[in-house]
Amino acid sequence: MARGIDRRAVVRIGIVAVVCYAAWLAIVTFGRSYNFFDMKIYHGAVVWWAGGNELYDFIAPRTTLGFTYPPFAGLVMLPMAKIPLGLAGWLNILASVGTLTVVLAALLKPIVDRLGWSLWFTLGIAVPLAVAIEPTRETLGFGQVNLLLFGLIMADLVALRWRARRGARVNPTDGPMRRLWFSGVWAGVGIGLATSIKLTPALFIVYLLLTRQWRAAMTAVGTAIAVTVGTFAVAGRESTSYWMSVLWQTERVGAADMTPNQSLAGVLARLYDSIETPTLLWLSFALLVLALGLSRASNSHADGDELTAFTLIGLTTNVISPISWSHHLVWVIPAMVVLGDAAIRRRAASRGPAYRSTLAVAGSGPAGMNGLRSPIWFPTLTGLRHGVAALGLYLLFLIAPIWPYEHQLPEVSHYHDGFFGALMENSLALALIVLVAALPWRPGAEPAFYPEHSRFDRRSTTSHR
């Protein structure tokens, strides 16, 4: 019976169980009391709407908060009116964790295939680690939709990847739907739907246009327009109310200086110790960050790393949005993947030639083995800064040091705890800004682009000649 047990599989299952337990302890230690706070607003709003009332007239009991998403989001959530609040919250958790698992599988599969790792074991460790960090635990605890929108956008990344391979996974015997799916021609639908649910993903459409991915861009624009016009046909009164009035009522979302608002606008409001953001200063810096993010994403795309390009756009959206609550910052997850993979790639790239040349010079005797010590040491340090950056980023978003220093005017000044308190209160936003400016891309890692427009492809062609 013992011989029939795969001991390595048992050890791996044990490791995954330990990681899951550690993630749970981290959530209990660093998380907060959530109680599906945002889901209560969504659920109450659609129940109110289903009862014949105006969707945007709803105000949650004991709060000043109402429904703030476009009316298409209300239509998507409308079936929740038929089920209890608790069930809706747990269904959202299951759907969100499932979406996160699928996205991580898509992001990690090229890496684990290259390194010869087990995908299920890697996911068994990666998923609980991702669930434990601030954006994910807040999304699940509040009953938010960030991971579902994240999944829609990343689905377009997968579609672009399949499209770049010209449907390599399609079998001639497959049915038409399967051939359509793996052809990737639907790239852009996810971004269009996400934009219709929450406006901020529209920056991905700008990115697609900037990088001349015309088909995906037009698909995204067409999807967003079709969904919005269709919603007008179904819910005309709510659509008119939203686009003419609710969209411009920024006070419905919350005050800019609130600590969980980890956007550039939030940082500036807190630095000025003001409830409102200094508008001209915010616009100036936001345009600078926007230009930087779009430029670096475009260069990443041209060098064949579409994952980093998408990640940079997501991070830029978080930074320049007037309100980016800590549960919106899910784009740090692919940023950690990029940093970790960059560390592995740089170490391997620098080690290979040095290792082979040392073998040729030193020979195979004891003296030769001693000669291997020097070239191994320096390649190990080559990827160290990226590995340390990935670990530091993870620990920052695991601990989320903004909460011990949470302040809000007029009760408590944001400078109440001095410079260190101000630094901690803005730490997540500052990390996002640094990532937009310095996140490395990996040439040739994710060639999900059209080769005729690719600078990377031209370089490769020239080198082969």
Span 1-28, pLDDT tens digits: 556 567 888 889 999 999 999 999 999 9
Let me know if residue 149 belongs to a domain: no
Give residue 408's pLDDT band: very low, low, confident or very high (50, 70, 90): confident
User: Over 60: is that where the pLDDT of 379 sits?
Assistant: no
Mean pLDDT on 434-451 = 78
Q: What is the pLDDT of residue 182?
A: 72
Average pLDDT over residues 433-461: 66
Q: What is the pLDDT of residues 85-117, one digit of tens each?
A: 999 999 999 999 999 999 999 999 999 998 889
Residue 168 clears pLDDT 90, i.e. is over it: no
Which residue has better confidence, 60 or 348?
60
Arithmetic mean of pLDDT, 233-246: 89
Compute the mean pLDDT over every residue in the chain, rounded to the nearest whole number. 86
Shared-domain flag, residues 235 and 270:
no
Whether 275 and 229 share a structural domain: no
If asked whether residues 241 and 258 sit together in one domain, one would say: no
Shared-domain flag, residues 243 and 261: no
Structural domain tally of the chain? 3
Q: How confident is the model at residue 192 (pLDDT cuts 50, 70, 90)?
A: very high
Contacts of 409 (CB under 8 A, 6+ apart): 255, 257, 273, 274, 275
Share of the chain above pLDDT 90, in %: 61
Q: Using CB atoms within 10 Å of the CB of residue 104, give its burial: 0 to 12 exposed, 13 to 18 middle, 19+ buried.
A: buried
What average pLDDT does this structure show over 158-174? 71
353 Cβ partners below 8 Å, 6+ apart? none
Whether the per-residue pLDDT at 366 is higher than 50: the answer is: no
Q: Does 360 lie in the same domain as 323?
A: yes
385 domain residue, yes or no:
yes
Q: Which of 287-301, 344-358, 427-441, 449-463 has the lowest mean pLDDT?
A: 449-463
Residues 183 and 136 in one domain: no
Out of 247, 262, 286, pick the residue that ends a domain: 247
In the chain, count of helices (H) and strands (E)? 22, 0
Residue 172 lies in a domain: yes
- Whether residues 242 and 258 share a domain: the answer is no
353, 460: one domain: yes
Q: Is residue 150 part of a domain?
A: no
Q: Are residues 427 and 282 in the same domain?
A: yes
Residue-range definition of the domain harbouring residue 179: 164-247
Across 126-285, where does the E strand assignment appear?
Answer: none
Q: Averaged over 245-267, what is the pLDDT?
A: 86
Residue 250 has pLDDT above 50, yes or no: yes
The predicted-structure confidence for 388-397, as pLDDT tens digits, reads as follows: 999 999 999 9
pLDDT given at position 184: 76
Query: Is 100 part of a structural domain of the chain?
Result: yes
Residue 384 pLDDT = 84
Of the residues 215, 247, 279, the one at which a domain ends: 247
Asked whether residue 418 is assigned to any structural domain, the reply reads yes
**Claim to verify: residue 445 and residue 350 sit in the same structural domain:** yes
What are the Cα distances from residue 44, in Å, to 51, 141, 147, 370?
11, 17, 21, 70
Residue from 82, 51, 28, 140 nearest 398 by CA: 28
pLDDT single digits (tens) 26-71: 999 999 888 899 999 999 999 999 988 999 888 888 888 888 899 9
Domain endpoint, select from 247, 279, 297: 247
Tell the burial category of 453 from Cβ atoms under 10 Å away from its Cβ (0-12, 13-18, 19+).
middle
Q: What mean pLDDT is predicted for residues 238-263?
A: 86
pLDDT band for position 450 (cuts 50, 70, 90): very low
265-294 average pLDDT score: 94
Asked if residue 63 and residue 1 are part of one domain, the reply reads yes
Identify whether 444 is part of a domain.
yes
Co-location of 319 and 411 in the same domain? yes
Bigger pLDDT: 431 or 172?
Answer: 431
Residue 153 lies in a domain: no
